[in-house]
Amino acid sequence: MADVATQQAAESAGGEKKKRRKGGGVWRVVFWVSLVVFIGAISALGYIAWGYYSSDKGYKDVATQALVAADTKAAEVMQEQAEPEEAGLTLADLEVDWDYLRSVNPDVVAWVYMPGTRINYPVVHGVDNDQYLWTDFNRTSSRNGSIFVDSENSGKFDDANNVLYGHHMNDGSMFACVSNVLPDPGEFNAHRTIYVLTPTLNYKCRTFSIIKTNGWELLVQTSFADDKEKTEYIQDKMNRSVVQPDDGMPNVADITRLFTFSTCDYGQDNGRAVMFAQAVDTAVPKSAPQDQGSSSSQSSSQGTASSDAAEEQAPVEVSEEDQAALGEGVARAEE
């Protein structure tokens, strides 16, 4: 009997050890799976962070080269995100090194700068609205993409409505402020001036409306059949604006040229934040070729871009291949 009891006790102890080993094995599997998931998550976050850093650094390097190489006081002002007029600069003083920019990307057509914000980037014009969606100015794959002009626009900023797109990046870069900063009334009225610089003509623009919509709305319209259609389009954007200018909405009849800035809005499904501005002044940059006009500054007394200035603007130099491709663009109203 003693032998039987001893055997049963041994078997019972062995069973308990097996249960403990089995239970310990399950927890070991859970631990290792959790560790792998944790490491994967950290790696993914690190990859995203590195993407933000490298892309932002790339654009800062481009800005440094394009602005400093111009060797003007404007370079210092623009790098500090300051207001040029407060530094005693005229619209004609704002210059970038177009030769350098073309050497990096021949599709460059402009430089956009908004004092007091992070908007300070080169602008490209692709064959369609997909080309630069995930490709940066250095022509490398990037989450930030590029600031680009709608492919239905000419790229010479002589259209009734010139549309620029940029991503809404979570680090605040590209056009993020259009969605998450400027819709605040105070911020909007504190930062209403935006400059679009080209090799032959600089534009000073004044924003007047921001609307929140979605990607399904056919919002983009680069030209109008007549003045009535244009007036109705602009009035609609004024009526739907989430902000109001302190000095009131401009007279629709005085707006001869529109500039539109579009990005994603994460406050709604497939959301868009779209900012509208009018050209209130133009000037030929001091470094422009002399045959662009005998005067270094052309301004409209009504604060609008003159048709004479638009006629004097020459296209940016691109290859014959690029010119042929640009004629095949199909616009799409997305960021």
**What are the pLDDT digits (tens) for 293-306?**
443 344 443 333 33
Structure tokens at 5: 């009891």
Q: What is the pTM of this model?
A: 0.74
Mean pLDDT of 227-255: 97
pLDDT of amino acid 287: 82
Q: Hey, what amino acid is at 75? A: A
Beta strands in 88-150 (DSSP E): 108-113, 120-124, 147-149
Topology of the domain comprising 46-326: Sortase; Chain: A; (2.40.260)
User: In a 3-state reduction of DSSP, which class is residue 210?
Assistant: strand
CA distance 81 to 83: 7
User: In the chain, where are the structural domains located?
Assistant: 46-326
Beta bridge partners, 259, equal 162, 277
CB of 118 within 8 A of CB of 147?
A: no
* Residue carrying the six token digits 């994967």: 40
CA distance 300 to 105: 32
**What are the pLDDT digits (tens) for 169-188?**
999 999 999 999 999 999 99
pLDDT of amino acid 34: 73
Question: Which one, of 179, 68, 73, lies nearest residue 119 by Cα?
Answer: 179
